[in-house]
């Protein structure tokens, strides 16, 4: 039986702004078949709009087109195919953007967040189970990162769907598929922030704010949140930052003096060269810079090796917050349920699918944190 439903298709990258007028996303009727072996059909209830989605629209990151974009979501399982073992019909699930195969060298080495098989499938715009399933009037449509969330239904490989307790608001838990894993996971897993350590977080989008929350959960003090937009500082305070500031030269010197030479950890979540340079400037001798923002391809830093050695710095990249998603999604959902992780504060707008193009403009203008598309 074929399922027919509405979804947002991107056919051409690099259209001009305002997106509300150029309308890169076309809302059309799509089709999906019944789930095959190892596949799960999910009725999508809410999907987060991330800056990574914007990069697909602008062409800063090139993906195969046409494509249904969107890579973090929450919904309910409608049907499962043969050989599905971990989820069943009626389960509430979070959809995550890297399906972890469990058998490649990186998965077997305990680093499933670097799953080679899942990454390769994502780059092809296909499912982990091979090929595409989406069609529009019979023509194939690619899946963004194995999820293709901006649609009323998603057909995913089982590893993309993580079961969660039933009845949680989809508009809140949708952000656990990307923002929370990348941000809080980086603070707790990749950087390994510990109690009493000092942390600077640079870039206060939803991912940076989730990193602030992760540092707070770890017991870090102080946690200083930095962004070029003063309007984002209040949100950082709500997520657990002890201080917030726009990073002027004077502010930076004051922070270095106050911390006795720099922070134990600088978490860079801006996705900019300037943000990385600021992180390098703020960290103390012997400290750690962890970068999780994704700048455009070709962005490079002229790293001076002598100061790196003389200061004994550690520089780390973080993908998916170094998360094993089947362990970490339930962990963060439990923190949300007990009030320790205020996920709803990461979201500033709730929009219908038909307003997705206008939501892109807000995102590009920095006028929103996470926007959740509700189906």
Domain containing residue 27: CATH number: 3.90.180.10
Q: In the structure, what pLDDT confidence band is assigned to residue 295 with cuts at 50, 70 and 90?
A: confident
Q: In the structure, what pLDDT confidence band is assigned to residue 341 with cuts at 50, 70 and 90?
A: very high
Tokens of 178: 């990307």
Residue 48 lies in a domain: yes
Is residue 288 scored above 90 in pLDDT? yes
Whether residue 22 is found in the same domain as residue 78: yes
Mean predicted confidence (pLDDT) in 51-65: 95
């109690």: which residue's tokens?
195
> Which domain does 150 fall in, by range?
3-177+342-374
- On whether the CB atoms of residues 115 and 106 are closer than 8 A, the answer is yes
Q: Is 25 exposed, middle or buried (0-12, 13-18, 19+ CB in 10 A)?
A: buried
How many structural domains does the chain have?
Answer: 2
258, 256, 232: which is closest to 245 by C-alpha? Answer: 232
Whether residue 49 is found in the same domain as residue 197: no
Q: What is the CA radius of gyration of the chain?
A: 20
Contacts of 132 (CB under 8 A, 6+ apart): 125, 126, 140, 141, 142, 143
* pLDDT tens digits along 108-131: 999 999 999 999 999 999 999 999
Whether residue 369 is found in the same domain as residue 304: no
Give the CATH number, domain containing residue 263. Answer: 3.40.50.720
Residue 327 lies in a domain: no
* pLDDT tens digits along 20-56: 999 999 999 999 999 999 999 999 999 999 999 999 9
- The Cα–Cα gap between 220 and 195 comes to 5
Whether residue 202 is found in the same domain as residue 284: yes
Whether residue 289 is found in the same domain as residue 355: no
Whether residue 166 is found in the same domain as residue 234: no
- The Cα–Cα gap between 240 and 341 comes to 9
How far, CA to CA in Å, does 207 sit from each of 224, 235, 261, 297? Answer: 15, 12, 26, 20
> Is the pTM value of this prediction over 0.75?
yes
Residue 135 lies in a domain: yes
Mean of all residue pLDDT scores within the chain: 96
**CA atoms within a 13 Å half-sphere pointing along the CA-CB vector of 252:** 16
């Amino acid at each position: 039986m074929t399922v027919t439903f509405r979804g947002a298709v991107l056919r051409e990258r690099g259209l001009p702004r305002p997106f509300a007028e150029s309308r890169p996303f076309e809302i059309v009727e799509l089709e999906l078949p019944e789930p095959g072996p190892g596949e799960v059909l999910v009725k999508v209830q809410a999907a987060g709009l991330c800056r990574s989605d914007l990069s697909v629209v602008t062409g800063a990151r090139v993906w195969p087109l046409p494509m249904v974009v969107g890579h973090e979501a929450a919904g309910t399982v409608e049907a499962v195919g043969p050989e599905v073992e971990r989820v069943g019909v009626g389960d509430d699930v979070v959809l995550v953007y890297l399906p972890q195969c469990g058998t490649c060298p990186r998965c077997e080495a305990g680093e499933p967040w670097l799953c080679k098989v899942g990454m390769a499938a994502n780059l092809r715009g296909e499912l982990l189970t091979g090929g595409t399933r989406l069609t529009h009037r019979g023509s194939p449509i690619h899946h963004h990162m194995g999820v293709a969330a901006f649609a009323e239904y998603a057909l995913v490989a089982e590893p993309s769907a993580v079961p969660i307790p039933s009845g949680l608001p989809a508009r809140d838990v949708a952000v656990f598929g990307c923002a929370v894993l990348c941000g809080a996971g980086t603070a707790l897993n990749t950087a390994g922030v510990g109690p009493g350590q000092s942390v600077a977080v640079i870039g206060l989008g939803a991912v940076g704010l989730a990193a602030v929350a992760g540092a707070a959960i770890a017991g870090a003090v102080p946690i200083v949140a930095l962004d070029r937009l003063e309007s984002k500082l209040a949100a950082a305070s709500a997520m657990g930052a002890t201080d917030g500031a726009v990073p002027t030269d004077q502010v930076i010197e004051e922070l270095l003096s106050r911390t006795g030479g720099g922070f134990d950890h600088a978490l860079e979540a801006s996705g900019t060269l300037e943000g990385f340079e600021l992180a390098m400037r703020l960290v103390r001798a012997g400290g750690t810079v962890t970068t999780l923002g994704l700048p455009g391809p070709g962005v490079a830093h002229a790293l001076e090796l002598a100061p790196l050695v003389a200061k004994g710095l550690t520089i780390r990249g973080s993908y998916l917050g170094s998360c094993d998603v089947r362990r970490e999604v339930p962990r963060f959902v439990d923190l949300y349920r007990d009030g320790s992780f205020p996920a709803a504060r990461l979201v500033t707008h709730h929009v219908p699918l038909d307003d997705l193009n206008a939501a892109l403009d807000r995102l590009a203008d920095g006028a929103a944190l996470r926007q959740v598309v509700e189906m």
